[in-house]
Amino acid sequence: MSTTALSRRNFLGGFGLAMTASAIGPQFSFAGNTQNGGPIILGTGNHKYEWVKNWVKLPPGMKIGSTHGGVVVDAKGHIYFSTDGEQSIMVFDQNGKYLRAIGMEWKPYEDGSGTHDMQINKEGNQEFIYLVSLFRNKFAKITTTGEVVWVKGHPDKSGVYKNKTEFKPTGITVAPNGEFYVTDGYGANYVHRYNANGDYVSSWGGKSTAAKEEGKFSTPHKILIDKRGPEPLVLVTDRANHRLQWFTLEGKFVKVVDGTEGDFLRLPSVLNILGSDLAIGDLAGRVTILDKDNKLVTHLGDGPDPKKRATNRLGPEHWVDGQFISAHGLSWHPSGDLYVGEWNLQGRLVKLKRVK
């Protein structure tokens, strides 16, 4: 099965509702003169960003390849994009200069899927990258130079799976106590919890019905530890249900934000936090910023054409600066800039520079 077929199968079932809501209209501020080369400014108030044109600078002959992965930023400010191309995980500086590639073990596998998500975590004096490989049915911990620390497969002790191929991990995150969590967004719709030693602890979730039960999911695509409150919580993008769900570190349901009213959330796919601000990459063509109370601040790069959202098949001739098509991976930079990797067969990597 192709990457495209699997992804479409998992989110298009809920796509119609999101697109119906989108008829209300985009909620974002767009300024600048694209015809004469002027800056493209997105957002409102304290959240204004310049869409940096032609940000990526590759060596002659190098291509990004298909992108269907994640984005992380290390302590040096270098940006890591996981791709389905020959460079696997590509590393850039803030100016878009290509620095190196790592993780060759996680290059495209069989039908073209490489690393689907990444999380960077500092442990002692060293940073590590936790990653999931969708079609390898595995997840791993590596160094920022690509050395493998460990690799794990499906959580057999969970009792969820008849065989390892049913486990299709899509997201991973690490808690302050060293425990980590893996979402099976394209498989059984579970969240799996592991202790700091990498031992399986517990699972929760399962496929939701039309009633959209709390604690159940329809494509729990990616996951993050939300440390904005008094206690850290596990935050999951329940993508095909158009909502976000929060849980304790033990997996007890806490709260939900439903995005089906007012075109609030279409297909929330990825999350990242800087200070009190939550950035959400929406596969249906935009980035959304929420405040500490999870109230809408702004939508960024919201394209006007619903037919040009949530697809990986639009080539560069269809790309419009200032408009997203399918935001899939995302990370803040400590400077306040945002880096976004789209789901795209040609590979689209975007920088939004914070305007101060």
| Boundaries of every domain in the chain | 3-354
81-102 pLDDT, tens digit per residue, is 999 999 999 999 999 999 999 9
- pLDDT at residue 35 in the model: 43
Average pLDDT estimate for 305-326 = 97
Question: Of 3.40.50.2000, 2.120.10.30, 3.40.50.300, 3.40.50.2300, which CATH number belongs to 3-354?
Answer: 2.120.10.30
Listed in sequence order, the DSSP H helices in 217-335 are none
Q: Is the pLDDT of residue 135 over 50?
A: yes
Give the C-alpha separation, 74 to 299, whole Å.
Answer: 26
Listed in sequence order, the DSSP H helices in the chain are 3-11, 15-22
- Please report, to the nearest 10 degrees, the dihedral formed by the alpha carbons of residues 43, 44, 48, 52 taken in order: 30
pTM: 0.90
Average pLDDT estimate for 286-292 = 98
Phi, psi of 105 (to 5 degrees): -65, -15
Q: Which residue has the higher pLDDT, 109 or 291?
A: 291
Give the C-alpha separation, 141 to 295, whole Å.
Answer: 34
- pLDDT at residue 263 in the model: 87
Lookup: tokens for 137: 């049915």
Q: Which of 73, 53, 55 is nearest to 64 (CA)?
A: 55
Average pLDDT estimate for 114-137 = 97
Residue 328 · residue 281 · CB < 8 Å? yes
Residue 303 · residue 309 · CB < 8 Å? yes
Give the C-alpha separation, 9 to 301, whole Å.
Answer: 25
Q: Which of 18-27, 38-47, 106-115 has the highest mean pLDDT?
A: 38-47
Give the C-alpha separation, 279 to 270, whole Å.
Answer: 8
- pLDDT at residue 19 in the model: 35
Confidence category of residue 20, pLDDT binned at 50, 70, 90:
very low
CA–CA distances in Å: residue 150 to residues 57, 138, 165, 199: 32, 11, 19, 12
Least confident of 134-138, 231-235, 327-331: 134-138
| 61 half-sphere exposure, CB direction, 13 A CA radius | 0
- pLDDT at residue 10 in the model: 39
261-273 pLDDT, tens digit per residue, is 888 999 999 999 9
Q: Which residue has the higher pLDDT, 107 or 147?
A: 147
Sorted by sequence, the CB contacts under 8 Å of residue 246 that are 6+ apart come out as 226, 233, 234, 235, 236, 253, 254, 255, 256
